[in-house]
Amino acid sequence: MDDEQQRPRAESVAAWTQLISDPADDAMAARCAAVLARLGTWPPQADELRARSILPEADFRALKAVGRAEAGEWTSGSPS
């Protein structure tokens, strides 16, 4: 079991949110966005990464879907 699975969710979200607020580079920001999506928290920085083409549209939509599913937002249609 990795650290993210052992650590309480709120603690993980806080740690990754802090990291994405001042990432070392765009790759780290994208990694943080992916982890936060898997934790069911959508970081606004992911939208900015998409706008700057750091996150390709397909990856962005996949992360958005994962984030919504993990947050319990089961909706039909494509993520926006």
- Please check whether residue 24 lies inside any domain of the structure: yes
Question: By residue range, what is the domain housing residue 37?
Answer: 9-70
Domain count of the chain? 1
- Please check whether residue 3 lies inside any domain of the structure: no
Give pLDDT, residue 80: 54
Q: What is the pLDDT along the chain (80 residues), one digit of tens a residue?
A: 455 567 899 999 999 999 999 999 999 999 999 999 999 999 999 999 999 999 999 999 999 999 999 999 876 555 55
Give pLDDT, residue 7: 80
Neighbours of 65 (CB within 10 A): 15
- Please check whether residue 26 lies inside any domain of the structure: yes
- Please check whether residue 30 lies inside any domain of the structure: yes
CA 77 → CA 29, 37, 42, 46, distances in Å?
A: 27, 18, 18, 20
